[in-house]
Amino acid sequence: GQQLNQSPQSMFIQEGEDVSMNCTSSSIFNTWLWYKQDPGEGPVLLIALYKAGELTSNGRLTAQFGITRKDSFLNISASIPSDVGIYFCAGHYGGSQGNLIFGKGTKLSVKP
């Protein structure tokens, strides 16, 4: 079946640092999406990308839809404590509404 490889699995951030994570697949997707999940809550959509090469920003967040349609990255600039949580990439390959695949997530924590 289709799979998404999301990396890194976890990372520690210090306030003010930039953060980068990515998602790759051997399959082509029509839409790439990035969600954030706070502890004990449901994920919230951050950014949706619909076109290969598309670069989209949402405040301090920037995401890109890879040219090959097989990858996407998310950057967070000047991180703040409330950025901690789990970030999921997701790819939709069209057709049925059930054709949405999630990565395993990148967990952001604050450096001790």
Partner 1 sequence: DGGITQSPKYLFRKEGQNVTLSCEQNLNHDAMYWYRQDPGQGLRLIYYSQIVNDFQKGDIAEGYSVSREKKESFPLTVTSAQKNPTAFYLCASSLGGTTGELFFGEGSRLTVL
DSSP state, residue 40:
T
CA distance 31 to 54: 11
The answer to the question of residue 11 lying near partner 1 (CB under 8 A) is: no
Nearer of residues 28 and 78 to partner 1, judged by Cβ? 28
Nearer of residues 60 and 107 to partner 1, judged by Cβ? 107
Shortest distance in whole angstroms from residue 104 CB to partner 1: 4
Tokens of 77: 């600039």
Query: H or E stretch including 42?
Result: none
Shortest distance in whole angstroms from residue 57 CB to partner 1: 17
Cβ distance 35 to 87 under 8 Å?
Answer: yes
Size of the site for partner 1 (CB under 8 A): 31
Binding residue (CB under 8 A) for partner 1 from 7, 11, 17, 48: 48
CA distance 111 to 10: 12
| Interaction residues for partner 1, span 27-46 (CB under 8 A) | 30-31, 33, 40-45
What is the Cα 23 distance to its own chain's centre? 7
The answer to the question of residue 77 lying near partner 1 (CB under 8 A) is: no
Q: Which residues pair with 87 in a beta bridge?
A: 36, 106
Task: Catalog residues that contact partner 1 under the rule CB under 8 A.
Answer: 1, 4, 6, 9, 30-31, 33, 40-45, 48, 50, 88, 90-92, 94-105
